[in-house]
Amino acid sequence: MTKQRRKYLIIMVVAILVITIDIGILVRHKIDMDKQQAFINSQMSMLGSRNVPSSVKPTAKAIAAYEVSPNLPKYLIIPSINVKARIVELYTNPSDQIEAPDNIFDVGWYNKSSLPGDPGATFIDGHVSSWTANGIFYNLKKLKQGDSIQIIRGDNKVFTYIVSKIQVYDATSVNMNQVLSPINSALSGLNLMTCTGKVIPNTSEFNQRLVVYSELKT
């Protein structure tokens, strides 16, 4: 083998090694990106919304300054899990799903459910988490029968409810007629819902829903 040919072969071997290393780096980068995206997906809770909710926590000043009409729910307070949250009004999206709050630290009142204290059930949902932080309903699973929940209305009237039942549903078989109905037909109800269970592979959705049923304290 001539000296020139040997030099040429060495150059070819080095080139092949460089290309192999570059491909390996790209593959590892793709794997890392896939893992990162999977982690993001595993932490997100949408509750019917396909938009990523904000994880910016409202300041105490912003919460204190919050205003709604006198007859609408304004704040949700759950002393046992240290929750005090603004209640925003929610609608349905074009797919007829109830939208979720735009912020993981707010909760949402479905505007076709009952107003606080009225016959029927007031329905409120909220996020369990985003990919950056725990949501307002992260500890909802810790509620127990007999715990109290309060709604403060726009005119500052307080409604106190007592937890009577906690139920977990498969996400694909939630009975919304039941969820939107009072647990005790003789009393005004308040039903809270959030995501729970495990993340469905390749999605940002959890496979279960947690519903807390409560009734107005008499």
Let me know if 89 is exposed, middle or buried by CB neighbors in 10 A (0-12, 13-18, 19+): middle
State which fold the 60-216 domain adopts. Answer: Sortase; Chain: A; (2.40.260)
Let me know if 83 is exposed, middle or buried by CB neighbors in 10 A (0-12, 13-18, 19+): buried
Q: Rg of the chain's alpha carbons, rounded to an integer?
A: 25
pLDDT for 16 equals: 59
Separation of alpha carbons 54 and 104, rounded Å: 6
pLDDT for 45 equals: 37
Separation of alpha carbons 112 and 121, rounded Å: 10
Domain boundaries, the chain: 60-216
- 63-76 burial, b at 16+ Cβ within 10 Å, e below that, comes to eeebebeeebbbbb
The DSSP letter of residue 208 is: E
pLDDT for 48 equals: 44
Residue with token string 């595993």: 42
Separation of alpha carbons 136 and 18, rounded Å: 50
Separation of alpha carbons 47 and 20, rounded Å: 45
Mean pLDDT by 10 residues, the chain (218 residues): 60 55 49 42 40 90 97 98 97 88 96 97 93 91 97 98 96 91 97 89 82 95
The tokens for 163 are 């937890």
pLDDT for 41 equals: 37
pTM of structure: 0.75
